[in-house]
Chains A and B, each alone.
Chain A
Amino acid sequence: MNFYLPLEEWTNTFVNDWLLPTVGGFFGRLSDGIETVVEGLTDFLIWLPPLLITVILIALTLWLAGKGIAVFTLIGCIYLGSVELWPEAMMTVAIIIVATLLSVVFGVPLGILASKSEVINRIIRPVLDFMQTLPSFVYLIPAILLFGLGGVPAVISTFIFATPPSVRMTNLGIRQVPTDITEASKAFGSTSWQMLLKVELPMSLQTIMAGVNQTIMLALSMAVIASMIGAPGLGSTVLSGISNVNVGLGLTGGLGIVVLAIIIDRITQGIGDKL
């Protein structure tokens, strides 16, 4: 006896006959919105003089992460300029910034909800596992169908892949606030909002920042995959290196991603430690 589950047909029918006609318009507008933001930000970053960005980054790393990283930042920026990948780097940064903002805007409140409600926590956990472990190529396809090619589906798929740490770490951070402190807050007559804003969020800020840091790192690691659906930036440099068997091009683009990753990681970690 042979049992066949027609998941493939179902999915296709669902996507083609219902999802696209019904919500396509909505996604179209969403797509336009995200596109405007991503392109605006990209243009702005490319328009800014590289020297200015370099100086700002060095100042930030000096303040937040120490001299060693500041020197590394200088070398890294010189590297990006001298291999002529500066505009690509800025495109990648723009996509990461937008995706990370989306992740934080959705992830942190979701994490707060999950920390407050066992029901929500139980629902969210498998969803997060799903988002993190499902091979990203699987949702690249519907992302293309819904959002077309380019930066927008890249932002969306990066958002899906990179949000879980923000949710998880926010949830963890709030759950880890010692009971005597939440009890004290309650005993003096705090409302739930006051307790959240004045006690729980300040107490868990470091953990939340660690989650945001992880979100950014995951977003960077999506750069190459996202370039397969037409996202511009360092990822597409690496991709064309791969497809042309051009080892040198692949390495220059790959090193660019590493440089960005280290600088952004140290800066966001530094922010977390300062809190």
Chain B
Amino acid sequence: MSKIDVHKLTKIFGPSPKKGLELLNQSKSKDEILTETGMTVGVNQASFSVEEGEIFVIMGLSGSGKSTLIRLLNRLIDPTFGQVWIDDEDITQATNEQLIETRRKKLGMVFQRFGLFPFRTVLANVAYGLEIQGMDKSEREEKALQAIEDVGLKGYEKSYPDQLSGGMQQRVGLARALANETDILLMDEAFSALDPLIRQEMQDELLQLQSKWNKTVVFITHDLDEALKLGDRIAIMKDGTIVQIGTAEQILESPANDYVSRFVEDVDRSKVLTASHIMKHPTVLASEKDGPRVAVRKMEDEGVSSIFVVDRERHLQGLLTIDDAIDAYKKGVEMKTVLVSNFHTTTPDTPIQDLIASAVDTKYPITVLNEGKLEGIVSRVSILSGLVLGKEEETTA
């Protein structure tokens, strides 16, 4: 059984949602229902499940219904139709008391605009969830302090939210959700209001905390890069409908439809892909056994005008051009003496972005070295195709 199981969850905003539901069942689109009845379909028959310990990212542009969807999970918004199973309990059927109990014990939430209580100190904010459960002061403050320490805000307990920066305020928001010791964390665009650097820092910290806490996280975002970074699995929403669910790789490699692929097009591949993704394993010369003759033969076979030369441990010795090889053959000199070294080198984990400049001003391929050993070469063509197509299947491991 999954931690969270969502079945055909639907929300229609408007005066007579039942009628909207009928129209949905006649498979009318969101736009048709809007023009026919004036009602808005917030979430359209969303079904998915989230496993324990998973970070499940729901991604979509504004108006796609993702914020509505996450609020249906803890019934901040009541669904029109569908079920939400949390640990075998269908919370859409829960009474008010049961719902409050589930929210207290099982569902923590972090908000885009933080949602902190401005008249409470950091400590009192973090302890809020425990306070309303009736836990005594010393016990709840102890737990709150622990949570504050976990998010790295020790020493700020007595501050008020408006004395803290945005990033710190969101740490308070996170600590407040952690203090309740719920299994599930709902994060509604939790990092979207932060500036990019702080945002990355918070993403890293969330991943780090997650390895320690192993919570079940439902994370809403409009940013695909964030989704790819955080999500074990990602659901992409459009017009209230989930159009695809899959791992980052699945979504990048086989977008379910045009909408997803347009989304994926926007991913900055130059940051995601590294040299090791696009490098090729070149035919090389072994300096010990091969002479200029073999070199010329190999270059002819490969149809290239230069070849890299390595020693027995594949340490790179240099580059041999076909002209130099023929020269050396004619003059009978050793191959070593005619090697050139005016090519660029890089490491396997360098992003393609950083290779573009080098690729422009050299006529030779860039060599990818790992501790001096030749791992592969990157040609200008493969950088361009990597950027444009992201064809990871062309690369060899």
Q: Do chains A and B interact in one complex? A: yes
Interface residues of A (CB under 8 A from B): 178, 180-181, 183-191, 194, 198-199, 202-203
Whether A183 contacts B115 in the complex (CB less than 8 A), given A188-B103, A189-B100, A189-B104, comes out as: yes
Query: A194 CA to B129 CA in the complex, in Å?
Result: 11
Interface size for chain B: under 10, 10 to 19, 20 to 34, or 35 or more residues?
Answer: 20 to 34
Once bound together, how far apart are the Cα atoms of A184 and B101, in whole Å?
15
The answer to whether B100 and A191 have CB atoms under 8 Å apart is yes
CB of B128 within 8 Å of the partner chain:
yes
Taking a contact as CB atoms closer than 8 A, the residue among A180, A198, A203 that contacts B113 in the complex is: A180
- Of A178, A180, A198, A202, which contacts B132 at CB under 8 A? A198
Is B76 part of the binding interface, using a Cβ–Cβ cutoff of 8 Å? Answer: yes
**Chain A interface mostly:** helix
CB-nearest residue of chain B to A205: B119
B117 near A181: Cβ-Cβ < 8 Å: yes
CB contact list, B64-117 vs A, under 8 A: 71, 74, 76, 100-105, 107-109, 111-117
Q: Would you list 9 pairs from A and B whose C-beta atoms are within 8 A, ordered by A residue?
A: A178-B115, A180-B114, A183-B76, A184-B116, A188-B108, A189-B103, A189-B104, A203-B118, A203-B119
Contact of B109 with A187 in the complex, beta carbons under 8 Å:
yes
Task: Return the CB mask of B113-138 against A: 1 if under 8 Å, else 0.
Answer: 11111110000000011011100000
In the bound complex, residues from chain A placing their C-beta under 8 Å from that of B128 are 185, 188, 198
Chain B residue numbers with a CB within 8 Å of A183 are 71, 76, 109, 111, 115
For residue A181, which residues in chain B have a CB less than 8 angstroms away from its CB? 115-117
Known: A186-B103, A189-B133. 10 other contacts (CB 8 A): A180-B111, A180-B115, A187-B109, A188-B109, A188-B128, A189-B102, A189-B105, A198-B131, A199-B117, A203-B119
Do A194 and B132 form a contact, CB below 8 Å, given A187-B74, A188-B109, A188-B180?
yes
Chain A: minimal CB distance from B352 (Å): 40
Q: A-contacting residues of B (Cβ < 8 Å)?
A: 71, 74, 76, 100-105, 107-109, 111-119, 128-129, 131-133, 176, 180, 186
Q: What separation, in Å, do the CA atoms of A158 and B345 have in the docked complex?
A: 88
Which of A186, A194, A199 lies in contact with B76, CB distance below 8 A? A186
Smallest beta-carbon distance A117→chain B, Å: 17
Contact of A184 among B102, B111, B131 (CB under 8 A): B111
Q: Chain A nearest CB: distance from B107 CB in Å?
A: 7
How far apart are A27's CB and chain B's nearest CB, in angstroms? 41
Whether the pair A178, B103 counts as a contact (CB closer than 8 A) is: no
Q: With the chains together, A204 CA to B101 CA distance in Å?
A: 27
Q: Give 5 nearest A-B pairs by CB, closest first.
A: A184-B115, A189-B104, A189-B103, A180-B115, A188-B129
Q: Which among A185, A186, A187 has the greatest number of chain B C-beta atoms within 10 A? A: A187
Contact: B119 with A202, CB < 8 Å?
yes
